[in-house]
Amino acid sequence: MTRLLPEGLEISISKTRDLPTADQVARMQHLLLILPVSPKEELWNQLPHGDVLAALIRRRPSHAHAALASHLPGQGRVGVTISLVKAGDPLHKKQSELRKLAATALTEAPESVGILCLGFDDNDTAMLQGGAITALMLKSFPMPKQKREPGPLSRLRRLRVFGAAPGLDLSRLRAEVEGNNLARWLTALPPNQLDAGGYRRAIEELAQREGWEMKFLGEAALRKKSAGAFLAVCQGNADADAGIVRLRYRPARGGKKPALALVGKGITFDTGGNNLKPFRGMLDMHEDMQGSAVALGTLLALSRLKFPRAVDCWLAITENRIGAKAYKSRDVVVASNGVSIEVIHTDAEGRMVLADTLAMASNDNPACIIDYATLTGACVGALTSRYSGVFSNRESLYPLLVECGGSCGERVWGFPMDADFDEAIDSNIADVAQCSQDNEGDHILAARFLGRFVDPAIPWVHVDLSASHHKGGLGLVPTPVTGFGVRYTVSLLLDGQLLDQLPPGETG
């Protein structure tokens, strides 16, 4: 398992409002300076070499990017990157600027970076400082590469925040970064290395390191549980390595019954099965396990934060291959909760493996279930890859779900879950059709299908990860693989207090 933070990274926080001296700046190899748009003259006057920095900004072409890189005069090779941020801009725009700012600051591979944010109120200052720290840690994380000459690695070893604002929570930033890095690293691994067996071994190593209890339900065990939906998908695989992983995190005095169950789709490669994908549609299908990686990364972040409640994590791990034994359209299979399913399209395999996994998670009667899946192209069509979709069997949760996405920078949008959508997945020969033949609103139909396998007494949130891959990076994350969902879930639990807001009852 790779190291999830730069080795030996030291982060120091100076809470005094005194500005850094020229000597302190000189001890940094790079200074990252965040100022308001059109900084007032007194701000420049407070800064070491402020007159020079102001002149650099004024000479900048009006069409240039907000981040400006230069070197401080008389300070050897001390670099400086300046970004002008508009306080009233939405959070996602500020985070995008911080992502680009971090990339510019790390261009010369400094070992030490100072962060100075001036001219904002405490809330904005804390957000910008925390965002800059997060962006630097995410950018300095090495994603999997196996080139003969892998290129320069980050040398970042020391961060210093000057004039830290109240509310800057370093332990939470580290936990969220580690969880996101784990999710991205696993997702980016080549499919011949992170096949089902390799994934299970990686999880075993992580579980042993973190002290999680792990149980693996292989294909034989799943047959005993009559998990026909999951087994239908894996029956075309060359190897019998597929299965469902259950991890248990139990803090001291957290109780044995899970307050939360995290469920993730882990299709390590998706050919589409007999309904074979075209070339471009199959090219990045090793990323189809990102839902499980996000669930795993979230569990890691909660463990790092010593989350006080018991959490289970369920990961549905298999490939979806073609072959003589692969499942077919119009097959009828029965899931572990007794619901019969008419197969319509073999490339709708994600909802099949989640069906049995959600049913098993429900059997433990957690207070809440959250599942994550790169489930439907329809959700990307509806939202693009900037947002992810959320669905719930508790309509009253939607404002909280959307608000937490906006407040942490991983934006989500809630979709309807009205019962009349079920008309599109009626089956003449089974309890439910796997999907509709015409594909209209498939993201909603997929959620309605999954709801058949969740105990209606349990509040449930389904996250369709349409923002799992975004060209150029998204928010603070610098890579196309985003790990979307780790930061979001931590925000739901810690800021939104989701587990204390759970309503009784159910929607239609």
In this predicted structure, what is the pLDDT of residue 7?
64
Which tokens in the block code for residue 399?
């404002």
In this predicted structure, what is the pLDDT of residue 34?
92
Which tokens in the block code for residue 164?
């830290």
Q: Does domain 10-162 have CATH number 3.40.220.10?
A: yes
Residue ranges of E strands in 182-295: 213-218, 243-249, 260-270
Q: pLDDT over 70 for what percent of the chain? A: 93
> Tens digits of per-residue pLDDT, 57-66?
776 655 444 4
Amino acid at residue number 129:
Q
In this predicted structure, what is the pLDDT of residue 71?
64
What Rg, from alpha-carbon coordinates, does the chain have?
A: 24
Q: Is the dihedral of CA 300, 387, 393, 402 positive or negative?
A: positive
Q: Which DSSP helix (H) or strand (E) runs through 311?
A: strand 311-320
Active site residue 277: yes
| Burial of residue 94 (number of CB atoms within 10 Å: 0-12, 13-18, 19+) | buried
What would the DSSP string read from start to end of 423-451?
GGG--SSSSEESS-SS-TTHHHHHHHHHH
In this predicted structure, what is the pLDDT of residue 31?
87
Q: What angle do CA 130, 131, 132 make, to 5 degrees?
A: 90
* Catalytic residue chosen out of the listed positions 351, 411, 448, 487: 351
CATH of domain 175-500: 3.40.630.10
Helices (H), 108-227: 122-139, 170-188, 196-210, 219-224
What would the DSSP string read from start to end of 38-93?
S--HHHHHHSTTHHHHHHHHHHS-TTS-S-EEEE-TTSTT-EEEEEEE-TTS-HHH
In this predicted structure, what is the pLDDT of residue 475?
97
Pairing verdict, β 369-373 and 260-270: parallel
Lowest mean pLDDT among 123-132, 161-170, 180-189: 161-170
**Separation in Å, CA 295 to CA 88, 152, 203, 219, 291:** 33, 31, 12, 22, 6
> Tens digits of per-residue pLDDT, 198-226?
999 999 999 999 999 999 999 999 999 99
What ranges do the domains of the chain cover? 10-162, 175-500
Q: Which residues lie across from 436 on neighbouring strands?
A: none
Q: Is the pLDDT reported for residue 48 higher than 90?
A: no
> Tens digits of per-residue pLDDT, 261-293?
999 999 999 999 999 999 999 999 999 999 999
The SS3 assignment for 276 reads coil
Active site residue 145: no
> Tens digits of per-residue pLDDT, 441-477?
999 999 999 999 999 999 999 999 999 999 999 999 9
Which tokens in the block code for residue 388?
């992810």
Question: What is the widest separation between alpha-carbon atoms in the chain?
Answer: 80
Phi, psi of 146 (to 5 degrees): -130, 35
Q: Which DSSP helix (H) or strand (E) runs through 102?
A: helix 91-105
More confident call, 11 vs 477: 477
> Tens digits of per-residue pLDDT, 304-335?
999 999 999 999 999 999 999 999 999 999 99
The separation between CA 18 and the C-alpha centre of its own chain, rounded to angstroms, equals 36
In the structure, what pLDDT confidence band is assigned to residue 507 with cuts at 50, 70 and 90? very low
What pTM value is reported for the model?
0.95
CB 272 within 8 A of CB 352: no
Amino acid at residue number 494:
L
Lowest mean pLDDT among 28-42, 192-206, 329-343, 422-436: 28-42
Average pLDDT rounded to a whole number, residues 423-437: 97
* Catalytic residue chosen out of the listed positions 27, 93, 277, 386: 277
> Tens digits of per-residue pLDDT, 50-92?
777 787 777 665 544 445 556 665 555 678 888 889 999 999 9
